[in-house]
């Protein structure tokens, strides 16, 4: 009963309502973008991007505090997307490039945060989010950034689909692959920024990658992929958030909201794998 209760009425509480809004907007953007990550096999590049954006988030936080971190984060996101796009375009071993950029930037971010007063607490908040204490400003900024990310991919949808399907012919039919890659990578980086308050820099990868993977298991119809991906992310977010709340209220076990949501994403993926296994 308590669980059912937390699925609905709990969201009347302002902090729960804010957490849900942030997650739903994030799910919509990451759900759609995640399909392209999956179709193009950009999981590792996405991992690289999340970490490359981290020093921007950290520097923004040190300079501007929680609500002010977005300026630094956005600059870092766009810079990281440009650098990784150009590097992976160079045909040097793309994985090695990403791994080097990823670790270097992440270390830089940790050093930035170490300059702030409450080092451990702040680092934790940046890495894992602070879903249940998201501020009103964070809701607004997160939503705007996530929607811009979504629009970048929606407006270039045809080109993105063409590249994903047949990279070799993309240029020949008049698309610019570099520009399309850049657009997608900037969109991924923006989702990373948007997710920093809700699930943090480490867990955002799950939000980017799991919904697309679930949708690929669920359907082979193009239009449905995007619906399933975003819909799944929203549902898993809702259930995860309600569970975290229910457990802390009824069982007095305070568990972090962001991590619970991510576990629900993964649980959904496992259930989908099982369902596919049974249907075979």
Partner 1 sequence: MNFVNTPATPVALELIGAAFSYGHDVALDEVTLSVHEGEALALIGPNGSGKSTFLKGVLGLLPVTAGTMEIFGAVRGPDTARSLGYLPQSDEVDPEFPVSLEQVVMMGRYRRMGWWRLPARADRAAVAEALRLTGLTTLAKKRFGLLSGGQQQRGLLARALAANPRMLLLDEPFNGLDQPNREALVETIRVLKGEGVTVLLTTHDLALAREVCDKVLLVNGTQIAFGSLADVLTLQNLQAAFSGFQVEVDEHSVVLPGHDGH
Q: Residues in the site for partner 1, rule: CB under 8 A?
A: 39, 155-159, 161-162, 164-166, 168-169, 171-174, 216, 219-222, 225
Q: Rounded to the nearest whole angstrom, what is the least distance from the CB of residue 214 to partner 1 in the complex?
A: 13
CB of 164 to partner 1, least distance (A): 8
Q: Are 235 and 27 in contact (CB under 8 A)?
A: no
The least CB distance from residue 167 to partner 1, in Å, is 8
39 to 6, 31, 62, 136: CA distances (angstroms): 36, 13, 37, 35
Q: Smaller CB distance to partner 1: residue 17 or 177?
A: 177
Q: How far is the CB of 88 from partner 1 (least distance, A)?
A: 19
CA distance 19 to 234: 12
CB of 159 to partner 1, least distance (A): 8
Cβ nearer to partner 1, comparing 115 with 158:
158
Q: Which two tokens stand for residue 17?
A: 């309502």
């Amino acid at each position: 009963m308590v669980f059912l209760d937390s699925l609905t009425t709990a969201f009347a509480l302002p902090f729960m309502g804010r957490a849900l809004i942030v997650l739903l907007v994030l799910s919509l953007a990451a759900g759609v973008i995640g399909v392209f990550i999956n179709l193009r096999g950009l999981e590792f590049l996405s991992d690289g991007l999340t970490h490359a954006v981290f020093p921007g988030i950290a520097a923004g936080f040190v300079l501007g505090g929680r609500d002010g971190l977005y300026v630094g984060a956005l600059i870092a996101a766009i810079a990281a997307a440009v650098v990784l796009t150009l590097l992976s375009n160079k045909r040097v071993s793309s994985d090695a490039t990403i791994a080097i950029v990823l670790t270097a930037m992440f270390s830089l971010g940790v050093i930035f945060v170490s300059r702030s007063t409450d080092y451990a607490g702040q680092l934790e908040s940046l890495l894992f989010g602070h879903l249940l204490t998201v501020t009103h400003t964070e809701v607004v900024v997160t939503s705007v950034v996530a929607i811009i990310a979504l629009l970048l991919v929606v407006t270039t949808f045809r080109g993105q689909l063409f590249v994903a399907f047949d990279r070799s012919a993309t240029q020949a039919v008049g698309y610019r692959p570099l520009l399309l890659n850049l657009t997608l990578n900037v969109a991924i980086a923006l989702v990373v920024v948007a997710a920093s308050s809700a699930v943090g820099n480490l867990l955002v990868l799950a939000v980017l990658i799991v919904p697309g993977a679930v949708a690929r298991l669920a359907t082979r119809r193009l239009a449905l992929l995007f619906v399933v991906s975003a819909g799944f992310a929203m549902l898993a977010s809702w259930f995860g958030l309600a569970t975290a709340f229910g457990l802390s209220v009824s069982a007095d076990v305070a568990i972090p909201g962001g991590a619970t949501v991510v576990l629900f994403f993964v649980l959904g993926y496992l259930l989908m794998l099982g369902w596919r296994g049974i249907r075979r």
